[in-house]
Amino acid sequence: MVTSMTRKLLREIVHLRGQLVAIIMVIGCGIGTYVMSRSMHTSLTLTQHTYYENGRYADVFASLQRAPLSVIDQLGAINGVAVAEGRTVSSVQVDVPGLPEPASATLVSVSSRRSATLNDIHLVSGRRLRAGATDEVILYAPFAETNGLVPGGTVAAVLNGRWRRLTVVGTAISPEFVIVMNPGSLMLDQRRVGVMWMAEEAVQAAYDMRGAFNSAVIRLFPGASERDVCRQVDAVLDQYGGWGATGRSEQLSHRFLSDEIAQLEVTAIIIPLIFLAVAIFLLNIALTRLVSTQRTTIAILKAFGYGTVSIGIHYVGFAVVAVLGGTVVGVVVGYILGIELATLYMEFYRFPMLVFRMPWDVITMVVLMSLLAAVAGALLAVRNAVRLPPADAMRPPAPRRFRAGVLERMGVAANLRPVTLMILRTIERRALRATVAMLMIALATAILVLGRFMFDVMDRMLAISFDKAQHEDVTVTFSKPLSAHAIHSVRHMPGVIRAEPFRVIGVEMIAGQHRHQTVVTSVAADQRLRRITDVDGHYAVVPDDGLVMTEYLARKLHCRVGDTIAIAIREGRRDTVRVPIVATVKEFMGAQGYMSPAAMSRLLHEQGTITGAYVDMASDSLGPFLIRAKQTPAVAGTLVRSVALQSFRDVYVQNMWMMTTYIVILSCVIAFGVVYNSARIALSERGTELASLRILGMTKREIAVVLLGEQVLLMLIAIPLGIAMGYALCRWIVGAFETEYLRLVFAFSSNTIGIAASTIIAVMAITAMLVYRRIHRLDLIAVLKSRE
Amino acid sequence: MHTHDQPGTVIFEMQHISKIYTMGDVNVHALRDVSLTITTGELLVILGASGSGKSTLLNILGGLDVPTSGSVLYRGRDMTHADDSTLTAFRRASVGFVFQFYNIIPSLTAIENVRLVTDIADDPMDPREALRLVGLEDRRDHFPAQLSGGEQQRVAIARAIAKRPDVLLCDEPTGALDYQTGVLVLDVIDRIHQELDATVALITHNASIADMADRVLKMRSGEIVEQYAPTVRRKPSELSW
């Protein structure tokens, strides 16, 4: 049976539905975000793990020049190694029908002993390779799909300098290649960068690698030390041109994916906390108001013999309903969004399956915590009212006490209009509440700034990359080092205006116990098409001697300008030489080194070999140039600047729009929740006052100014404060966000300020309209009869 | 206050006014076929028990409400079906209200409460002058919470007269006050009536107050049941209850 008290609570909930809905929305957003990010995080982690396990993804990777297959047994014998396999891996240029420029792919040999295969492929279409088939290939599914290649089709590829026509028999994905991109490039370009799997025998034949391998993949026993195994693998492979073994964390695909999943966890904590804080504030002010309008009711209840506790529980019921309502909304919306987004991620990363799981235990805990916090907030509001003796509570409250305050002491009161004074004194009297409300609006503004600021950062980074650093139209890379004369061949290709050669060498930089695998690229003094540029857009100069390196790398290696480090060259004579660091440059992408061509020649004991060229083109010659490049076996790949820029925009800008939309919704909910609740409560507290003003002959518009003036004033303080908070937050994020692939460049445009401010103002305007409707309905006569 | 009017000029003319409130499923006849004329410079006391319809009558006079049927003329202008903005403008320019519960703004000092009205009036008096008229010039910088009930009511009166309204409407102005304070407030109203030649309509359930009126209306169940002019007009200080 429904008790009278429950009935009373239910009716009051219906009466206060507007405010309650706003609070439920805020709580719903918080819990929804939590459920969404948490379930996504759990599911994606689980999916990643399952995918890795099913595909027997290796734990340790080692590249080398060439070793006989018997060496694999030595690797397998290392303590902690469960399985070791050898394979042949190479970069190849691919001619895809319909694609103007040549594509590049990683060619991976696949053992015919299927049961033994680590990094197993997952077939998406077609069939597996026949053992020993020399012209069959399985393509990386996203690469095949974006290029319209299906089983039965053909592609041409340069295998070890010779063009080969290959039949596509299937498309596949692999845990090793969740993300495929060119190292040093920021974009996913699935049309131009791919993976090809071929039968082991065919690859070995093409590359003269019979009975040998150039890539080892190793799976460890649980609990084995990755570090120890790597060290021992290095010891074995050193004489075979080993590049140094690394764990999964150095694998681009794994790292990228794990970083992305880890980011979800941050969202899962920070955003719900913000919402919860806002919700508790709103609940507290709404309940404080509800209780103060019900002083007499409380007194009557007490006179009837209801105890303090049961009355307290009654009002706390409001908070419970809000949290439960928010939980239902949050869990449902979060669950739906979680599945939707996890599915999007699954499709984006091409996981073969999605293991969706709701982490109910953590979700339950968060709901309980929200409940606890809300109840605490509610009790604080109810405490004073239930403490009053019934006789006191039945008397009307004394007129709200206003006394001379700051305004009077400052002597400005006399010069202000009474309406302005009403607004200012109300704020002054409820300084704490007004401050908290103002801070919450500022927070919403700051969140907006944060959402929009990533566009500024991306714009800035694009500007530095594409306007300052990269002036070439096309970057051509060769399949192996060529003599310096090769640049003349490039210059004679169709439409070339200018071509500048470069040499890239793979190295390991060693400073004490700190090591880093990377590349060193040559930079000529008169090089114009590609410049080394720092985050501020300044050009770095590469002196004739010594090594220039990314500042991030110098920090990672714990060395600075003036130090000498060891460079182990991973090609040619494989020397280890000592080189002084002559400068560092604050680049935002990658972690690499630069040398003058002369210094590099000395390092390599070579006469000016080159591995690629930057090319400046006549504007209409790109097509013929790319056709020629495709026909040139020495060309491993081409990177067209305009295409790179476009694909960057396609992928990142679209993702950022999604993120921004989400952030705008979140901050609008906060701003709306705070402004609407504050205005509604002000309307309830000051209904008599406002009706009196109407009776005195003020128009609705004039009293709207009195009511909303407070909110507008708070907003006017909150917006600049929020922008300042957002600015500081952005600065902090730029400083804190640092990966090996990317550092952020600080940028902050007036657009960001404009969008944040105008969004908050728009929310304010909508809220004002809603509240204005209430003003319209003020019952003037009823107000005169009430004593309050 | 329209001092240029000849005494006896008709301000309000109400003909066959009825007012029916719908409270849930019940119709309440607050006024039944009331006709009334108010002329300049008179002090009218409307007497009646609670529920007699006197407040409804005052609310219609003051432009806070419109009748269900009948007609209201204010200085010859038909106000029967006036819309909200017309009524607002009417209240703003022509009516001064005084209520039982003062309804003064707690966040404004006495003088600021008066300025609130003089700021939006066409030809207001100096707010200090209005406060002087109610004997509160010394308390002008006090906030309502620092004033007694009687003082608060006098601020309300000052606020009502500061715009020089055509008519001063007082709804139980002494209802929340003790005897002494009540007399003091009535004295202020009487003085304003005398000194400014103001037209005043005052409603009360207190029959003793009727003796300060030029004319008395008695109401019961929404009807005017008696109308008379007191034989001896007394000063508020001579009243007792």
pLDDT tens for each residue of A36-57: 888 888 899 999 999 999 999 9
pLDDT tens, position by position, A478-519: 888 999 999 999 999 999 999 999 999 988 899 988 888 889
Residue B46 has pLDDT above 90, yes or no: yes
Q: Print the SS3 string covering A9-39.
A: HHHHHHHCHHHHHHHHHHHHHHHHHHHHHHH
Which of A107-111, A158-162, A673-677 is predicted most confidently? A107-111
pLDDT band for B3, please (50, 70, 90 cuts). very low
Q: Which two tokens stand for residue A16?
A: 């206060």
Taking alpha carbons only, the member of A666, A751, A767, A642 closest to residue A714 is: A767
Mutate to test the interface with B, among A421, A425, A696, A700 (most CBs of B within 10 A): A696
Q: Which two tokens stand for residue A538?
A: 């300044």
Which backbone phi and psi does B74 adopt, to 5 degrees?
-115, 115
* Average pLDDT estimate for A622-631: 88
pLDDT band for A580, please (50, 70, 90 cuts). very high
Q: What percent of chain B has pLDDT above 90?
A: 44
* Beta-carbon contacts of residue B30 (< 8 Å; ≥ 6 apart): B19, B20, B21, B53, B56, B222
By Cβ distance, the residue of A418, A429, A699 closest to B108 is A418
CB–CB of A698 and B107 under 8 A?
A: no
CB–CB of B119 and A400 under 8 A?
A: no
Residue A184 has pLDDT above 80, yes or no: no
Residues A565 and A581: beta-carbon distance below 8 Å: yes
CB–CB of B92 and A688 under 8 A?
A: no
The pLDDT value recorded for residue A397 is 61
CA distance A147 to A289: 64
Residue A788 has pLDDT above 60, yes or no: no
The pLDDT value recorded for residue A186 is 55
CA distance A65 to A162: 20
Distance from CA of A287 to the nearest CA of B (A): 23
pLDDT tens, position by position, A446-482: 989 988 888 888 888 888 888 888 899 999 988 889 9
pLDDT tens, position by position, A338-366: 888 888 888 888 888 888 888 888 888 88
Q: Does A404 touch chain B (CB under 8 A)?
A: yes
CB–CB of A699 and B65 under 8 A?
A: no
CB–CB of B91 and A696 under 8 A?
A: yes
CB–CB of A426 and B107 under 8 A?
A: yes
The pLDDT value recorded for residue A183 is 56
* Beta-carbon contacts of residue A669 (< 8 Å; ≥ 6 apart): A25, A26, A29, A275
Q: Which two tokens stand for residue B234?
A: 């007394």
pLDDT tens, position by position, A117-136: 899 999 999 999 988 888 99
The pLDDT value recorded for residue A293 is 76
CB–CB of B107 and A425 under 8 A?
A: yes
By Cβ distance, the residue of A696, A698, A781 closest to B59 is A781
CA distance B184 to A366: 63
* Average pLDDT estimate for B209-227: 93
pLDDT band for A405, please (50, 70, 90 cuts). confident
Q: Does A702 touch chain B (CB under 8 A)?
A: yes
Tell me chain A's radius of gyration from C-alpha atoms. Answer: 34
Residue B152 has pLDDT above 80, yes or no: yes
Cβ-based contacts under 8 A for chains A and B? 93
Distance from CA of B166 to the nearest CA of A (A): 14
**The residue to which tokens 């990142």 are assigned:** A652
Which backbone phi and psi does A515 adopt, to 5 degrees?
-130, 150
CA distance B72 to B36: 9
Residues linked to residue A380 through DSSP beta bridges, in sequence order: none
| Local structure of A216: helix, strand or coil | strand
Which of A348-362, A375-389, A647-661 is predicted most confidently? A348-362
- Report the mean per-residue pLDDT for chain A: 86
Instruction: Report the relative pairing of strands A564-569 and A635-640 from DSSP bridges.
Output: unpaired
Instruction: For residue A400, list chain B residues with Cβ-Cβ distance below 8 A.
Output: 106-107, 145
By Cβ distance, the residue of A422, A781, A786 closest to B105 is A422
* Average pLDDT estimate for A752-756: 92
Q: What percent of chain A has pLDDT above 90?
A: 38
Distance from CA of B231 to the nearest CA of A (A): 33
Of A283-287, A387-391, A633-637, give the lowest mean pLDDT range. A387-391
Residues A156 and A94: beta-carbon distance below 8 Å: yes
Residue in chain B lying closest to A404 (CA): B143
Check residue A305 and give left, alpha or beta (phi > 0: left; psi -120 to 50: alpha).
left
Which backbone phi and psi does A385 adopt, to 5 degrees?
-70, -40
The pLDDT value recorded for residue A607 is 84
The pLDDT value recorded for residue A394 is 65
pLDDT band for A783, please (50, 70, 90 cuts). low
pLDDT tens, position by position, A432-448: 889 988 998 999 999 89
Q: Does A396 touch chain B (CB under 8 A)?
A: no
CA distance A313 to B170: 44
Residue B145 has pLDDT above 80, yes or no: yes
Residue A188 has pLDDT above 80, yes or no: no
Which backbone phi and psi does A494 adopt, to 5 degrees?
-55, 130
DSSP per-residue letters across A558-597:
T--TT-EEEEEE-STT--EEEEEEEEEE--SB---EEE-H
DSSP per-residue letters across B17-85:
EEEEEEETTEEEEEEEEEEEEEETT-EEEEEE-TTSSHHHHHHHHTTS---SEEEEEETTEE-TT--HH
* Average pLDDT estimate for A162-168: 91
Taking alpha carbons only, the member of A232, A176, A172, A173 closest to residue A59 is: A176
Sign, Cα dihedral of A142, A147, A151, A155? negative
The residue length of chain A stands at 788
Residues linked to residue A246 through DSSP beta bridges, in sequence order: A61
The pLDDT value recorded for residue A590 is 83
Instruction: For residue A425, list chain B residues with Cβ-Cβ distance below 8 A.
Output: 107-108
* Beta-carbon contacts of residue B37 (< 8 Å; ≥ 6 apart): B10, B12, B13, B14
Q: Does A414 touch chain B (CB under 8 A)?
A: no
A699 vs A742 pLDDT, higher one: A699
Compute how many other C-beta atoms are within 10 angstroms of the C-beta atom of residue A368. Answer: 12
Residues A462 and A740: beta-carbon distance below 8 Å: no
Which string of b and e fits A403-417 if b means at least 16 CB within 10 Å?
Answer: eeeebeeeeebeeee
Q: Which two tokens stand for residue A708?
A: 């909303």
Of A263-277, A476-490, B44-58, B153-167, give the lowest mean pLDDT range. A263-277
CB–CB of A787 and B95 under 8 A?
A: no
CA distance A322 to A27: 8
CB–CB of A419 and B144 under 8 A?
A: no
CB–CB of B145 and A417 under 8 A?
A: no
The reply to whether ipTM tops 0.85 is no
pLDDT tens, position by position, A533-579: 998 889 999 999 999 999 999 999 999 999 999 998 877 777 889 99
Q: What percent of chain A has pLDDT above 70?
A: 96
Residues B115 and B130: beta-carbon distance below 8 Å: no
pLDDT band for A185, please (50, 70, 90 cuts). low
The pLDDT value recorded for residue A288 is 82
Instruction: Indicate the helix (H) or strand (E) that contains B159.
Output: helix B149-161
Residue A524 has pLDDT above 90, yes or no: yes
A87 vs A684 pLDDT, higher one: A87
CB hemisphere CA count around A514 (13 angstroms): 9
pLDDT tens, position by position, A190-229: 888 899 999 999 999 999 999 999 999 999 999 999 999 9
Residue in chain B lying closest to A782 (CA): B64
